[in-house]
Amino acid sequence: MRSFIKASEVVDRRIGWDKLPPWLGIGVLVGIRDALREHNLYDTYEGDPPAAPAHYPAEYLTNRTADGSYNDLAEPSMGMANTRFGRNVAPALGRPEPPPGLMDPNPRLVSTELLLRDEFRPAETLNILAAAWLQFETHDWFSHGTDDNRMLKIPVPEGDDWDGETIDVPATPVDPQSPPGRPSFVNRETHWWDASQIYGSSVEFQQHIRTPAECNDGKVRIDQDGFIDVAPAVIQSSGGADGWWVGFELMGTIFMREHNAICDRLRAAYPEWTGDQIFNKARLINAALLAKIHTVEWTPAILDHPTLHIGMRANWFGLAGEKVGQLVGRIGASDLVSGIPGSQTDHHSAAYSITEDFVTVYRMHPLIPDDYTFEPITGDSAPQGLSFGDLHGVANSRGVLKRLGMTNCLYSLGIAHPGAVTLHNSPKFMRQFHSEKHLIDLIAVDILRSRERGVPRYNEFRRQLRLKPATSFEEISGGDRATAEKMREIYGGDIEKVDTTVGMFGEKLPPGFGFSDTAFRIFVLMATRRLKSDRFYTVDFTPQVYTPEGMAWIADNTMTSVLLRHDPALEPVLRNVKNPFAPWPRMRHA
């Protein structure tokens, strides 16, 4: 095994996995992933996790708990809400940068000169629903929260148009139980891939989103017009208010409706079940469907490379393929042959958690456009232009959905491109972003957060992933000489200071990729880990736990079938669409 791993890394360095024929590329990626599993997983609890709350076995053996506890029965607190983020780099290198390094160079200057959108650069292989989907999923995986009692003050550069001398950003809360000199940070969401962006990470949140107990139907609150029937205060308490916009609400609406459709199927099969039984099982099924869609549809759309098309389907179905699995089931224990779902659980070299490094590589704000055109699918009225500000916030989002209709909103985002994840393409509206309590430069905050939370800068980050560091600013300037010069000026000629986000946005991408190869290394590791560590995707991915009806629901559905179930008017445009996260064809009208 070690010789295979070493050979894979040598081939990758000398040739590049992306330049090999797909089946050879798959072999190299397997070796890269195995090396990352061995060297790039660190448990910040170092074997001394906190205790989990008490539960009865009936609450967790075949159900997900609200807070994510008891997924691992031997270590019940693993991955639960309000536990620490892990690391993908050695803890000694994952220490937050103290002042003055925290502001060196000035995050606002980096934001303005290297990241802020000068003109919109589209990602032409994707649609805006792909951007909305990513935001929807990241709300499932992580949330740090903020500490308003500690403010980080970004100095406003001379000549800047900001009103004031500093941009005041609330700090990230530090786990008070962290070891001296090694602060860790806590994930307010569960670390598991369990659809907590819908169901929350607490019993209290679930009670808010569920229909009244007397209904006994296990459903979530959807009003008579088909919209999410949850009070804005509940959304705000969950941390969703700042990120709420039309794209995010559309995803939430669709999969809350999907939950209720699953409930109807379960009620028909099990009329004697209680509402709690139906809710818990529907949640399990809905979460697995989300994970499947992300694995075999969204990922091949944003990483449109032949090797990844094979590899991501293999993660779910195995190289034997979907049809073989349907006919004969698993062929042995190998993930590679039959896929991760239904295999043995394995945390590899560290207890499972989402990592700080994973959070950094998923900062892909350039995907979000500043301006939108909403077109009626029937062509019976003129297109309407709106800004992100018109779509942002609970009131604005709901107003647009009610005025234009869900069908037209989905269609309009489906035919339009998101932004490319590159330098000089972060949204203009983020430069002065009104969060719930503060006015901030969200682009500068992206830079600040990685420094604050101890993610190494770009070159050291690459070294820790056993990649070659950049040796010149030209390598990471997006091929633009003026950008390279500006980068050299901002970082004082020291390439070791370049921020990870800046380097990733500027490096040359593999063919078909929507984000960098550096970010992809974390993806290779964590995409499989989120499935492989979760018993509900491994040993308990069975008809006994999910029900036969649940297993069939997961197997038979795709993002397209979900969209059509809840919006049949989209059928003419989706009829020949292979991947719903790629641009949809425009409807032709007489």
Which residues form the catalytic set? 139
DSSP states along 61-127:
SSS--TT-TTSSSSSTTTT-TTEE-BBSS-GGG-PPPPTTGGGSS-HHHHIIIIIB-SS--B-TT--
Distance CA 119, CA 141 (A): 31
Residue recorded with tokens 């062509």: 379
Number of helices followed by number of strands (H, E) in the chain: 27, 8
Residue recorded with tokens 């830079």: 447
- Please enumerate, as own/partner, the contacts of 150-155 that have beta carbons within 8 Å and a separation of 24 or more: 152/102, 152/448, 152/452, 154/103, 154/106, 154/107, 154/108, 154/441, 154/444, 154/448, 155/103, 155/106, 155/108
Burial of 468 (C-beta count, 10 Å sphere; 0-12/13-18/19+): exposed
Residue 316, helix vs strand vs coil = helix
Looking at this protein, which amino acid is placed at residue 161? Answer: D
Distance CA 500, CA 454 (A): 11
147-155 and 83-84 as β-strands: parallel, antiparallel, unpaired?
A: unpaired
Distance CA 236, CA 234 (A): 5
DSSP H/E element including 39: helix 22-39
Residue 303 in tokens: 């990483």
Burial of 541 (C-beta count, 10 Å sphere; 0-12/13-18/19+): buried
Contact call for residues 302 and 294 (beta carbons, < 8 A): no
Q: Tell which residue, 33, 30, 38, has the closest CA to residue 90.
A: 38
Residue 237 in tokens: 């308490």
Distance CA 440, CA 108 (A): 10
DSSP states along 543-556:
HHHH-HHHHHHHHH
CA distances from 429 to 390, 392, 446 (A): 11, 11, 14
